[in-house]
Amino acid sequence: MLSNFALATEITLDLMDLLLGILVIVGIVFVVFLIILLAKLVGTMKKVNKLVDSLDEPVTKTMAQLPDMMKNLDAVTKDVAVLTNSAKESVPHVLDDVQIMTGTVRGGVEAVGGAARAVGDGVSRFFHPTRAAHGPDMNAVMDIVNKALGVVSFFASRSKSQKKTRSKGRR
């Protein structure tokens, strides 16, 4: 009997009603998405607020220390300026002293070389009498003594000038 009854019902849907139903479903999904998004945004804002609160005290302390840091930096720059001015004045004197010292040492080395040559010639003449006999080279010995005295007087005058400079600086 049931087989005789065929479903002869017709369902008619208006296109506007179908589009309105789809639009309502999309609207519900969009509202759920917005609710989830706003919930996550609120959580993120809470974390940012906690971070800002935790950084507030250290930043405030750092800002309070900045004027003292600037004063210390000014003092350091003044000290650096004094050191550079001092170096500007003393470095040329040191270079002059080094130049004098190297000249003195060069002369001493040449004198020692001359004396060593004279001693070698003397020893050679002693063992080989056939060569012309000359007396010991007194000029070479005198050169060595003069150069040694020059080095000693250089250091003595240098220490005296440093003592004068230090005593002037302490006044």
Tens digits of per-residue pLDDT, 20-62? Answer: 999 999 999 999 999 999 999 999 999 999 999 999 898 889 8
Inform me whether the pLDDT recorded for 81 exceeds 80.
yes
pTM of the prediction? 0.36
With contact defined as beta carbons under 8 Å apart, do 130 and 156 qualify?
no
What is the model's pLDDT at position 146?
Answer: 75
- In this structure, the number of other CB atoms found within 10 A of the CB of residue 96 comes to 10
Residue 20 CA to residue 26 CA, distance in Å, equals 10
What is the model's pLDDT at position 109?
Answer: 77
Residue 131 — pLDDT band, cuts 50, 70, 90?
very low
Contacts of 108 (CB under 8 A, 6+ apart): 144, 147, 148, 150, 151
Residue 74 CA to residue 78 CA, distance in Å, equals 6
Arithmetic mean of pLDDT over the chain: 79
119, amino acid identity: V
Q: What tokens were used for 76? A: 């350091």
What's the helix, strand, coil split of the chain in %, to 5?
85, 0, 15
Inform me whether the pLDDT recorded for 139 exceeds 70.
no
Residue 171 CA to residue 166 CA, distance in Å, equals 9
Inform me whether the pLDDT recorded for 170 exceeds 50.
no
Inform me whether the pLDDT recorded for 7 exceeds 70.
no
Q: What mean pLDDT is predicted for residues 84-90?
A: 81
Phi, psi of 161 (to 5 degrees): -70, -35
Inform me whether the pLDDT recorded for 16 exceeds 60.
yes
What is the model's pLDDT at position 163?
Answer: 60
Q: What mean pLDDT is predicted for residues 95-112?
A: 78
Q: Which of 75-84, 111-120, 125-134, 151-160 has the highest mean pLDDT?
A: 75-84
Residue 132 — pLDDT band, cuts 50, 70, 90?
very low
Vertex 144 angle, CA 132 and 162, to 5°:
170
Lowest mean pLDDT among 21-30, 42-51, 144-153, 154-163: 154-163
